[in-house]
Amino acid sequence: MIKEMQNMGTEDHHSDTESVGSERASYSGPFSGPLVLNKRARKSARFNIPGETMMNSINGTGRSSATNNEDDDEAYVEITLDVREDSVAVHSVKTAGGVADHEDPEVTLLARTLEKKSSFGSSIMRNASSRIKQVSQELKRLASINKRSVPVRRLDRTKSAAAYALKGLKFISKTDGGAGWAAVEKRFDTLTASTNGLLHRSQFTECIGMNKESKEFALELFDALARRRHIKTDSLNKHELQEFWEQISDQSFDSRLQTFFDMVDKDADGRITEEEVKEIISLSASANKLTNIQKQAEEYAALIMEELDLDNLGYIMIEDLEMLLLQAPQTVRGGESRILSQMLSQKLIATRETNPVKRSYNTTKYFFLDNWQRIWVFTLWLGILLGLFTYKFVQYRNKAAYEVMGYCVCTAKGAAETLKFNMALILLPVCRNTITWLRNKTKLGVVVPFDDNLNFHKVIAVGIAIGTALHVIAHLACDFPRLLRASEEAYEPMEPFFGKEQPESYWWFVKGIEGVTGIIMVVLMIIAFTFASPWFRRNRIKLPWPFTGLTGFNMFWYTHHLFIIVYTLLIVHGIKLYLTKEWYKKTTWMYLAVPVALYACERLTRALRSSIKPVKILKVAVYPGNVLSLHMSKPQGFRYKSGQYMFVNCSAVSPFEWHPFSITSAPGENYLSVHIRTLGDWTRQLKTVFSEVCQPPTGDKSGLLRADFHGAGGNNPPFPRVLIDGPYGAPAQDYKKYEVVLLVGLGIGATPMISIVKDIVNNMKAIQEEDDLEASYNSLGMETPKNDHSNNGSSSNIRKGFKTKRAYFYWVTREQGSFDWFKGVMNEVAEMDTQQVIELHNYCTSVYEEGDARSALIAMLQDLNHAKNGVDVVSGTRVKSHFAKPNWRNVYKRIALNHKDSRVGVFYCGAPALTKDLRQLASDFSRKTSTKFDFHKENF
C-alpha cells in the first residue's frame, strides 16, 4: 500500500540541490498500485529489510511514501525519500510505527552522498535506479548493526573560517582551465582528431588544462567522476567530457565537497577508510611536491582518523570531511583581516592625469624623490667627464696636430682624458673596507648611495667602454690615415713627435710601444667585459664542448683579475705618448696613484687579516636543496652587524678565489655561520669537499649529512682549511634605523634576514633583562652598577642604536626541504619572541594556492597537526606555512594599515625579478598613504 505522507510541491525545505528539469513520471516497484510522483514532493515508503527489494525503473521526479501491512510493522522501516528532478536522497528512516521521530543523521548523510547534479536528463534516468539500490544496501547495513545515538552536528557556515573555507576545494583555478568549456572543447577536438572523437584517460589532464605535475591528481579525479557515472572504459566522448567538466567547474561548495569525497572513496561505499585517507594524502603531497608529507602519510592518516572517527568505526563520512574543512582551528590565511578588506580597498593604480604637463611634472617629481641620491652622484660624474673631455678637446684644437689630424685628434684625446679618470674611479666602489668604514663611521650614507656601489662600478665600466671605443676609432679610422696621407709641408710640424721620416703604413704605429700596449689592453678589456656579463657569469649561455668551462663565476673571477695587467700597460701607455713629451703633462699616473694605492692597501689588509689564523670549523651540515651550512669560530676582534657579509676562501677548492656570503649568525652569538647554496662551479666543489668528511646525522641532529667538532681531545673530522675576510657593509645592516621593518627573502636570499631576525630577538631580550635588573635595583634603593650587562652594553646604549619595534619576515621558497635550513632558528624565534615583535611568514610556492582542491587536504592536515602538536606539516617548524606566492600588494597594505604615519624599511634579498615589483609597491604606498616605505636591495 502506498500512501502520500506529505506534499511539498512548492517548498524547498533546506535542500542542498537545485532542480534543473521539469518532467513528470511514474514509478513502479514491488508495492501495490502505481505511484505518480509529484514534482518537488517528499514521500515515504516502507521496505522489508530482510528481503531484497527490486526497483525496476524511475522515469521522473517526485517524492513518495509507501507502507505495507500494519500487521508486519516491526519487520519494516519507513524511509522518506527526497526524489527531485536531478537527485534521489534519503531524508529520514523510522520504524514503521513512527517511534523514531528524529532524522537519522547517518542516513541523512547517505542522502547527500547520493545526490547528483546534472544538466543531462539521460544521465539522470540511467543513474537513478542504481542509486536506490545503494539505498537498499545501506539500509541493510544499518539494520545489521546496533543503532547508535549520534547527536546531529550543526555546521555554522557563517563563521569567518568557514566562510573562507567555502571558497575552497576548487578543481579549476585561475591558472588551470580558466578559459572554460570553450577552451576544453578546443583541446578535445585537437587531441581526438585521430581517435574518432574519444579522449583517452591519459589525455584527460592536458584536455582540462591542468599542468603535468598534477597528472596523478587529475587521473584520480577522472576515475572518481567515471565511477559516479558507471563508466567502465578509459575513454570519453565529448558529451561525457562535458558532464565531467560541469561537475569539475561547479561553483557549489557541496558539489565540490562531494567530488573530493568521491576521489577519496575509491570503492564508492560512501565511507572513507584510513587506507583511502593515506592514499589521498600521498596523492596531494605528490601533486604539491611535499616529499616529507609523502613519507609520513601513514602517520598523518592516523591523525585524521583519530580526529574524525570518534567512535572507532574504522571509517569517516562526508559530514566528517565537511566538519574538518569548515570548523578546523584555522586562522584567516595569508594574514588577511576584515579591516584589510574594508580599508584601503583602492588598487593604488595611478590616476591618469589628462593634462600632459602635470603628468610629466608628477612623473619627474616622483622619480626625483625616489632616486635623488643616485641622480646627484650620476650628474656629478657626467659633469666631470664632460668637463675633462671639453678641456682636452679645446687644448688640442689649439695645437699644431689639429692642422694635420683635425677634430679626430681632439676627440681621441678628449676620450683618453675621460678614460684616465674612469680607470681611476672604477677601483673605489670595490674598496669594500673603505666603504664599510664610511657607512659605519660617517653620516655620508644620508647623501651617498653606498648600497649601489656595484651598480656604479658597472656604470663606470660602460663609460670606459665608450671612451675606449671613441679613442681607438678616432685614432685608427681618422688620425693615422690622415697622418699617412699628409704632404711633406703638412707633416713637418709632426716631426718632433713621429720622427723625421713620415710613417708609410699602419705597421709603423702597431709595432711601437704605444700600439702594442694599446692593442693588448683593448683585447684584455674585451675579455674581462665579456665574461663579466650576466650571460657568462650566471651560466645563462650554454656553450658546446670543449668551451663549457668558459662560463660561470670562476671564469669571471679569473678574467676580471686581468685588470692588474691592464693597469700596468695603461701606465706604460700613458708614458709613451705620441704628442706629449714633457713628464708633467703625462697625467695618467697622477690619476691612478691614489686609487691604486688605496686598492692595494685594501687587498693587503684583507690578505693579512684573513691569513693570520684560519677559523676553526665547529659544525658542517648539508641540507636539502644543495645548501651547505658552515659554523665556525669567531676570530678575536671580529665585530659585525646583522645583515653584513664576509668573504670565504677554501684552499682545497682554490687558493685564490674569495666569494661573498651573508652572515647568518647574530652578533651576540659566539660563532659565525654562513649558508651556501650550490649555484656555481666553486660552490659545487666546496660542497663536495665538505661532504667527504660528513656522515648521515644521528639522533635528532639536522641535515642530510653532518659533521661536528668534538673538542680538542675528540675524534674530529679532517675539515678543509677555511679563511674568512670581513665583515663588509650591506643594505640590510641599516634595519635598526627603522621602527618597523619588512624583511623579504627568496630562497637562499633569506640568509641576511635570518641574522636580523635573531638579532632583533636578542636585542629585545637584552633590553628586557636590563630593565628588569634596573627595576630590581631601584626597588632596593640601590644604584644600578655600570657595565653589568651582556656583550651589547647597557640598555640605554642598545636603545640608542636600536629603534625596531616590529618586524615582518616573509620567506618564500619553492621546495619543502628548504625549511630545514633554518628550522632551528624559526623555532627559537617563535619560542623566545614573547613580546610578539616578529611576525614570521613562510611561503612554499610548490604548493597550490589555498582553496585549490589539490592542496585542500594539506591545509586540513596542517590545521589539525598544528592545533594538536604545534608543528607545521610543511615547514616542520612552529611557524605555519602559507601556500603559493604572497600577494605583495596585500602585504604592503596590511603594514600600511597597522603602522600609519610610520617609516618602514623594506629589505629584500633574492632573485632580481621581484625587485621591480617590491620597489614599485613601496613607491606607490609611500605616495598614497601616510606610511612611507624605504626599499633596499641586497647586491652581490
Q: What pLDDT digit, counting tens, does each position of 720-737 carry?
A: 999 998 888 888 888 888
Query: Which single residue is written with the C-alpha cell 619595534?
Result: 805
Question: Which DSSP state fits 929?
Answer: S
**Residue 781 banded pLDDT, cuts 50, 70, 90:** low
How big is the chain by its Cα radius of gyration, in Å?
Answer: 38
Cell of 903: 617609516
High-pLDDT (> 90) share of the chain, %: 18
Cell of 419: 678614460
d(CA 187, CA 647) in angstroms, rounded, equals 54
d(CA 35, CA 33) in angstroms, rounded, equals 7
Q: Is the per-residue pLDDT at 284 higher than 80?
A: yes
Residue 800: its pLDDT value, please? 60
More confident position, 78 or 859: 859
d(CA 132, CA 89) in angstroms, rounded, equals 9
Cell of 67: 507502507
Which range, 370-374, 467-471, 766-770, 879-883, has the best average confidence (pLDDT)?
467-471
For 199, 240, 411, 481, 687, the CA distances from 234, given in Å and listed in that order, are 8, 12, 77, 80, 48
Residue 687: its pLDDT value, please? 92
Residue 62: its pLDDT value, please? 39
Q: Is the per-residue pLDDT at 780 higher than 90?
A: no
Q: Is the per-residue pLDDT at 513 higher than 60?
A: yes
DSSP annotation string for 865-885: HHHHHS--TTTSSSSPEEES-
**Residue 857 banded pLDDT, cuts 50, 70, 90:** confident
Residue 632: its pLDDT value, please? 92
Own/partner contacts of 204-207, CB < 8 Å, gap of 24 or more, are: 204/236, 207/241
d(CA 148, CA 244) in angstroms, rounded, equals 37
Quick check: pTM over 0.75? no
Residue 36: its pLDDT value, please? 36
More confident position, 381 or 9: 381
Q: H or E segment at 262? A: helix 253-264
Question: Which DSSP state fits 503?
Answer: P
Cβ-based neighbours of 545, under 8 Å, separated by 6 or more: none
Cell of 635: 676570530
Q: Is the per-residue pLDDT at 798 higher than 70?
A: no
For 706-745, letters b (16+ CB in 10 Å) and e give bbbbeeeeeeebebbebbbbbbbbbbbbbbbebebbbbbb
Half-sphere exposure of 913 (CA within 13 A, CB side): 2
pLDDT digits (tens, 9 = 90+) for 658-687: 889 999 998 888 899 999 998 878 888 999
Strand 838-844 with 806-813, pairing: parallel
Residues 751-778, mean pLDDT to the nearest whole number: 80
Residue 81: its pLDDT value, please? 62
For 603-626, letters b (16+ CB in 10 Å) and e give eeebeebbeeebbebbbbbbbbbb
> Where does residue 754 rank: exposed (0-12), middle (13-18), buried (19+ CB within 10 A)?
buried
Angle CA(930)–CA(932)–CA(933) in degrees, nearest 5?
145
Residues 430-458, mean pLDDT to the nearest whole number: 88
Which range, 222-236, 529-543, 575-589, has the best average confidence (pLDDT)?
222-236
Q: Is the per-residue pLDDT at 603 higher than 80?
A: yes
Residue 445 · residue 438 · CB < 8 Å: yes
Q: Cα-Cα-Cα-Cα dihedral of 240, 243, 245, 251, to 10°?
A: -170
**Residue 68 banded pLDDT, cuts 50, 70, 90:** very low
d(CA 188, CA 810) in angstroms, rounded, equals 41
Residue 712: its pLDDT value, please? 66
Cell of 461: 665600466
Q: H or E segment at 745? A: strand 740-746
Judge if the upstream peptide bond of residue 727 is cis by omega within 30 degrees of 0: yes
More confident position, 764 or 52: 764
Residue 23: its pLDDT value, please? 37
Residue 123 · residue 63 · CB < 8 Å: no
Report the sign of the C-alpha dihedral through residues 824, 825, 827, 831, in that order.
Answer: positive
Q: Is the per-residue pLDDT at 337 higher than 50?
A: no
- End-to-end CA distance of the chain: give it in Å, rounded: 87
Amino acid at 912: P
Mean model confidence pLDDT for the chain: 76
Q: Is the per-residue pLDDT at 108 higher than 60?
A: no
> Where does residue 695 rank: exposed (0-12), middle (13-18), buried (19+ CB within 10 A)?
exposed
d(CA 752, CA 404) in angstroms, rounded, equals 60
DSSP reduced 3-state for 847: coil
Q: Is the per-residue pLDDT at 892 higher than 90?
A: yes
- Provide φ and ψ at 461, rounded to 5°: -60, -40
Q: Is the per-residue pLDDT at 342 higher than 80?
A: no
Residue 19: its pLDDT value, please? 33
Q: Is the per-residue pLDDT at 329 higher than 70?
A: no
For 395-411, letters b (16+ CB in 10 Å) and e give ebeeeebeebbeebbbb
Cell of 931: 606610511
**Residue 867 banded pLDDT, cuts 50, 70, 90:** confident
Q: Which of 79-93, 253-267, 559-573 has the lowest mean pLDDT?
A: 79-93
Question: Which DSSP state fits 477?
Answer: I
Residue 53: its pLDDT value, please? 40
Length in residues, the chain = 940
Q: Is the per-residue pLDDT at 39 higher than 50?
A: no
Residue 864 · residue 181 · CB < 8 Å: no
* E strands present in 157-267: 199-200, 235-236
Query: Which single residue is written with the C-alpha cell 574594508?
Result: 342
Q: Is the per-residue pLDDT at 772 higher than 80?
A: no
Closest residue by Cα to residue 720 from 790, 813, 647, 650:
650
Closest residue by Cα to residue 745 from 756, 736, 734:
756
Cell of 719: 675539515
Give CA 7 to chain center in angstroms. 57
Q: H or E segment at 571? A: helix 563-575
Residue 110 · residue 135 · CB < 8 Å: yes
Cβ-based neighbours of 600, under 8 Å, separated by 6 or more: none
Angle CA(220)–CA(211)–CA(812) in degrees, nearest 5?
110
